[in-house]
Structure 1
């Protein structure tokens, strides 16, 4: 739709020509980025999904004849966004979301953030994420990523709808289809998993399935209060497994947020990080604000022991993909050489490291 002058739109209104679907998606992204309540986000993503199949002309006609609010999935607030966008006005709700959540997430780390080519830890609605695989991929492209690793959970984590070997195999076909659709875009969705580290240090997925993946993040999700010696043996065994590329959120702590607080797991960090350094397993700098894992003292220990790192969003929604800014700020403050951060590497170098 062509831009209209402020006079044509009404007093104080800004021109907008990206369309209603883009406006709804952008509002949802900003709300996720700002860690707003999930129910608010779902309203905007649901409305975008509802009107997308209708096509621009049908949506414009429904706005013109006043029936857009009858479309299933469109409520009063989302209808207002659609109506304003169709009329070439910048939606008020979009302007408010940009003002509240569109600015920098953190001060510092900008140079390192700009070097990050991708993200090795993200979830979709196949496990406990909130959005389809395609939406996560499109948002990664919009953020300028060259690659994104899809790492839904493994089967033992039933509360997060972890993927059985059969479901994971089906997901790999979907990833192939997404990449076929995006051919020529300069972006690749990589095949991955966040695999549970079992009590004995084994991995919660078959070797055959793990071998079909590009990148494997291994994390402890159960028995987080395990006795320190046993937890150390458990984690060292996992990072020495040649199929493990990244040790995810190593202490399991929660420092803030809706899930409350959780103390760190106790283990011999020097032994674990020495094993990471010896095997080339990257220590994840988990960028979720409620995790900030590893704590600064352990981040600095891993740095001093020569570990590689991966700055990951652990995103469960598209807007959370932008959380990499938090991890970049922490890594830069710790003085970590960017070349030791594996997701500053080009895709081919990353894949060669992961396969080795």
Structure 2
């Protein structure tokens, strides 16, 4: 076990046991830094010279670099028992990510760099979901820019083997519940993530109507970060809505609920995640990555999925690409029991 793997496993176990987002993120940050270390033994003092490495993570790095299982990891695994090992199988089953951004909107890296990073961590597919026009603060894509992006994405895929970057968008849910992009373009995309980014403090009744309309839209495949909350820094309270009505609509229409893995989001909260699970929803464990290293956050989302007793059949990010595309091409009114639609079905 190398230092990076050890640090990622610790981050996963901390998330699995419900540790603070700051603590979880510290181990992911340390893993990013440790990836720059040369092979071979490292002393704790050497590791601490790296940005983002403290005494605890430095000791983990030193022990792992010397061929030992770090004591910190051993302790967490002993405390968690066999259930955590079963939970880790969800991470190993992951083949994709439905939500990532490039420098075409508010991401910091080119499309091809994000695609290569996803391929490098073992994904077979990922979905490029840059923002829609009205989110101007995030440099959302106008219809013309989205058309140009689709051409660029096709060119990227011709240079990749064993991996496919799917077409998509993170589409703003407007106040009336409609989606912020032209119908003909939404029809062309492989995956549509629909998210609320404005008027997050609306009263529960209009917010519920807005979200229900969006998840019932046949173009919508995934409901993104449903509460809009921020749990780190100054924070932001979660939006108020009738969760039972929204998740029932998701389950009935076949729209997946996103388990957003960003440490500052952890959205939905645990109580709503359990409510969505009980409603029979499908889920997408998504990083909402804006940079290559953020793709590693996905393991934290799988830890939360495991705590909610969700198996791979409920998690679309563990599905092979053929099943995923058959599902997104359907009308969505398929529910969990028949999540892969019949051959020949299509979007209406």
The TM-score range, normalised by the shorter chain, is: 0.7 to 0.9
SS at 1:124 equivalent: coil
1:34 aligns to 2:62 (yes or no): no
Q: Structure 2 vs 1, CA of residues 239 and 212 (structure 1 numbering), >3 Å: closer, same or farther?
A: same
Per-residue Cα deviation, 1:273-292 (whole angstroms, up to 9, x for no partner)? 00000000000000111111
SS at 1:244 equivalent: coil
Q: Distance in 2 between matches of 1:111 and 1:98?
A: 28
- The residue correspondences of 1:237-248 to structure 2 (distance < 5 A) are 237-248=213-224
Q: Distance in 2 between matches of 1:321 and 1:165?
A: 27
1:264 aligns to 2:221 (yes or no): no
Per-residue Cα deviation, 1:197-232 (whole angstroms, up to 9, x for no partner)? 000000000011111110000000000001100000
Name structure 2 gaps, 5 residues minimum.
Answer: 1-24, 65-72, 78-83, 331-348
Relative to the length of structure 1, the TM-score reads 0.72
1:209 aligns to 2:185 (yes or no): yes
Q: Distance in 2 between matches of 1:253 and 1:98?
A: 26
Number of the residue aligned with 2:114: 136
Residue 96 of structure 1 deviates from its aligned partner by 3.8
1:154 aligns to 2:128 (yes or no): no
Poorly superposed stretches of 4+, deviation over 3 Å: 30-33, 92-104, 106-109
Number of the residue aligned with 1:235: 211
Q: Distance in 2 between matches of 1:268 and 1:159?
A: 28
Q: CA RMSD in A?
A: 3.0
Number of the residue aligned with 1:190: 166
Relative to the length of structure 2, the TM-score reads 0.73
Residue 144 of structure 1 deviates from its aligned partner by 0.4
Q: Distance in 1 between matches of 2:157 and 2:196?
A: 30
Name structure 1 gaps, 5 residues minimum.
Answer: 1-29, 41-80
Larger radius of gyration: 1
Q: Structure 2 vs 1, CA of residues 349 and 94 (structure 1 numbering), >3 Å: closer, same or farther?
A: farther
Q: Distance in 2 between matches of 1:32 and 1:205?
A: 38
Of 266, 269, 280 in structure 2, the residue corresponding to residue 292 of structure 1 is 266
Number of the residue aligned with 1:351: 325
Residue 337 of structure 1 deviates from its aligned partner by 2.1
Number of the residue aligned with 1:172: 150
1:339 aligns to 2:313 (yes or no): yes
Number of the residue aligned with 1:71: none
Per-residue Cα deviation, 1:305-333 (whole angstroms, up to 9, x for no partner)? 10000000000100001110110000001
Q: Structure 2 vs 1, CA of residues 188 and 93 (structure 1 numbering), >3 Å: closer, same or farther?
A: farther
Q: Structure 2 vs 1, CA of residues 233 and 36 (structure 1 numbering), >3 Å: closer, same or farther?
A: farther
Q: Structure 2 vs 1, CA of residues 329 and 32 (structure 1 numbering), >3 Å: closer, same or farther?
A: closer
Q: Distance in 2 between matches of 1:138 and 1:290?
A: 25
